[in-house]
Amino acid sequence: MSAGWNTIESDAGVFTYLINSLGVRDVQFEELVSLDADFLRQRSPVYGVIFLFRYPTGDKLHATPLDGTLDHEAAESQFFAAQTIQNACGTQALLSVLLNKVDAIDVGPRLQEFRDFTSAFPADLRGEALSNSELIRDVHNSFARASPFADEAQRSATEDDDVYHFIAYTVMNGKLYELDGLQPAPIAHDSCTPEEFPDKVIPVLERRIERYPAQEIRFNLLAMVRDLRIRAREIGDQDWIYQEEQKRNAWQWENALRRHNFIGFVGEILKGVVRSKLVEGDGKYAEWVKEAKAKTKARFDERQKAKGRTDDDTT
């Protein structure tokens, strides 16, 4: 059942403040706009990456991974949870990194308690424990976009639906692992140290993307790194500190906007505008509507002309 879990965006600000709300300290997310190992290395230490991609709902399931090998022993010795609920895969992916990095990250008492409580569970029970955690669910949902419409209908995705899925990549026990809750176990790719992670993970991601048609661009990659303000303070770079603080302020503002439902606000504005036109009298409202329609038609015609010119240039 997916009731109770809402969809959240793959966004560095959302994920950073989500884990902060769970009690994690000195960790943030950075969006990667290209598969560049040097760019990733500059943000070291890198604890892992979260990869969002369009899930091929029409493809058949494979008994073995298309890349890498299943490591069932790691499913028991490391934190690995099966995905048992829809809409939670983003939070599950970041927890897959966090809860395997407790020696390097201060995850806070609540997540540490959750990890300790589920440490002896098999992957499916860990997934059930995660999906039933009120703490994790409430924090997750607090970063979902507000919607004025409630759709209580539940249906399975079809081949025509665009379904997206989050997975994680991180280093555990000297290997690069892919952590996907839809797989029966972690997928081991290659021997790897934390220092080698930027160089080792990029080829794996490239091979994953190559499975898609060349025109497919709907991917998103977020790196989980140490709070960049710490590095900036260590080297005394005041400009960098200022930039990071400004970024945090922007994230907080964007997260606040996500939580707010603006439908009522927009409705009140429209009612106020209509009321002011009606007060003017003498057909001002009808004239205003007619003028708005004419402007809309003019913009549409201009776009069509521009599109025609573009098509002519490419033929």
List, by residue number, the catalytic residues. 89, 165
Spatial strand order in the sheet of 69-70? 27-31, 219-226, 46-55, 163-172, 175-179, 187-191, 69-70
| Distance in angstroms (rounded) separating the CA atoms of residues 3 and 93 | 19
Which run of H or of E encompasses 101?
none
Closest CA to 211 of 90, 52, 69, 66: 66
Closest CA to 98 of 88, 107, 109, 110: 107
| Distance in angstroms (rounded) separating the CA atoms of residues 304 and 248 | 40
Other C-beta atoms lying within 10 Å of the C-beta of residue 226:
17
Is 84 within 8 Å of 229 (Cβ atoms)? Answer: no
